[in-house]
A = this chain, B = another copy of it.
Amino acid sequence: MSWVSGSNAALLTDLYELTMAASYHRRGMNGAATFDLFVRDLPPRRNFLVVCGLDQALEYLETMSFDADALSYLESLEMFDAAFLDHLSGFEFRGDVWAMAEGELAFAREPIVSVTAPLIEAQIVETFLLNCITFQTMVASKAARVSIASGPRDFSDFSLRRDHGADAGLKAARAAFVGGAASTSNVLAGRFFGIPVSGTMAHSYVMAFESESEAFRAYARDFPDRAVLLIDTFDVVQGAQRAVEVARELQPEGVNLAGVRIDSGDLAGLTRRVRAILDEAGLSDTQIILSGDLDEYRIASLISDGVPVDLFGVGTQLGTSADSPYLGGVYKLVEDQHGPKIKLSTGKVTLPGRKQVHRFIRDDQIQHDVISLREEEFEGSHPLMRQVMKSGERMGEREALADMQQRCLGAIEKLPPYLKKLENDGSYKVDLSVKLEALATEVGRALRVSHSS
């Protein structure tokens, strides 16, 4: 069941994590350090992020290790001394992790995950944590937009064939579900995560039979309660008529035509004509499923045009978040044994210290967040980060995916209207607490002084 952990995952890191770690090791620099994983700016066309990927990140932290094969490869690079390789051979992550829950909404600059561990451990896990958290957060955030656009209609993740590899297919299905998808076409994601799986038929199925009607007849007989017939292999209107004929013919056998799918052409116009054909035939319960390069923008447009669609299959645009295909997550040192740290590079300033994020809600709408030092409390708000790992041990039960989805849907309901728009129309207010602001100023000033000396 474990597909992203163990010794392979330990090497799934940038070489510089290991060279830096070797250098720290040689100097005995292994005091506690805290790194924050966050996003500096929201990507284009995103008003919020949906946190996702924590469970896999924790699984990695629990299980990663360097086995003999990994160590022998590292040795072959002739860059690492024996003492460091020996250190790696006994390596395990023993740190503490604080994080926002999966399905929670996050905004720019807010720590999503915060790792406190001996410096070498905290450093080596950087690359994997970024890879794991930012991809799923990107897809869950995209899914939440599709969910907002779809309104009460369900949508299904059809992205596997266009996802970036096998792991992306699994994680995209998971993140899409957390962000609001009702199901996935990805069978392995169904197996691993318990996500409902759904599917229809491909054009090749229709083509494999002597005629479209024969294909429809066969499929409807084989899946009498759940057949969805793909009607655009030749001509959509004729396809709909044939689907109706087959449904009528097989009704005595107990066949209930669940739906028809349209995957090409003028979806709005064709859906109206097909709906009319189905309704005239008394098949008003037969659903119309649309697919074919859909995204939240096309879905919103179809719905605002009053197109009588029941369900969307969303593939490529969802699984690759194509209009914003990466999330610039960073993982920054914010504190070490000498105290809070800050970075001053152009455009890349960080916030020092161990932190907490507080959300203020009024009249069932989120009002603003405050990023503070970890121990601060604010009346009228609730903290978003909780400790999820202590000394390398996961705290509490693994959360069910359905609970993450509920959290996300609940959080979306509390979004003010301007943040639910598909375009940008103002940014959510994220303040720094007075204490954090003061600390940032103080650490920054001290750094500039020491640096210019």
A→B interface (CB under 8 Å): 3-4, 8-9, 11-20, 22-24, 26-27, 29, 33, 35, 69-70, 73-74, 77, 79, 119, 123, 126-128, 130-132, 134-135, 158, 160-172, 185-188, 190-191, 197-205, 207-208, 211-212, 218-219, 222-223, 226, 232-235, 238, 263-265, 316, 320-322, 325-329, 332-333, 336, 341, 343-348, 447, 450-451
Contact = CB atoms under 8 A, between A and B. Distances in A.
Given A24-B208, A451-B234, A166 B73 contact: no
A201 B16 CA distance: 5
Contacts of A235: 451
Number of copies: 2
Given A208-B29, A208-B333, A451-B212, A12 B203 contact: no
B160 A171 contact: no
Nearest to A448: B234
B3 A8 contact: yes
Nearest to A128: B166
Given A168-B167, A264-B348, A158 B336 contact: no
Contacts of A346: 232, 264-265
B205 A20 contact: yes
Given A12-B188, A14-B185, A203-B333, 11 more contacts: A3-B8, A15-B187, A16-B201, A19-B201, A127-B160, A132-B166, A164-B164, A165-B171, A207-B341, A211-B450, A322-B326
Contact of A165 (B160, B165, B450): B165
Contacts of A169: 12, 131
Contacts of A341: 207
B226 A191 contact: no
Contact of A33 (B127, B168, B208): B208
A246 to B, nearest CB: 14
Nearest to A31: B208
Contact of A19 (B199, B344, B347): B199
A279 to B, nearest CB: 24
Contacts of A205: 20, 23
A164 B162 CA distance: 12
Contacts of A344: 233-234
B14 A158 contact: yes
A164 B187 contact: no
Contacts of A211: 450-451
Q: Which 10 interchain pairs have the tightest Cβ spacing?
A: A15-B199, A16-B199, A325-B325, A164-B164, A165-B167, A167-B167, A164-B168, A130-B161, A11-B188, A204-B333
A176 to B, nearest CB: 13
Contacts of A321: 325
A268 to B, nearest CB: 14
A204 B17 CA distance: 10
A295 to B, nearest CB: 12
Nearest to A198: B15
A102 B166 CA distance: 19
Contacts of A27: 218
A280 B203 CA distance: 67
Nearest to A238: B451
Contacts of A325: 320-322, 325
A238 B101 CA distance: 42
Contacts of A163: 131, 135, 164
Nearest to A230: B16
21 contacts: A15-B185, A15-B197, A15-B198, A16-B200, A17-B199, A19-B201, A23-B222, A26-B222, A27-B218, A123-B204, A126-B202, A132-B165, A163-B164, A165-B168, A168-B168, A203-B343, A204-B333, A233-B343, A234-B345, A264-B348, A320-B326
Given A14-B186, A451-B212, A201 B162 contact: no
Contacts of A171: 164-165
Given A14-B187, A15-B199, A22-B222, A264 B347 contact: yes
Contacts of A158: 14
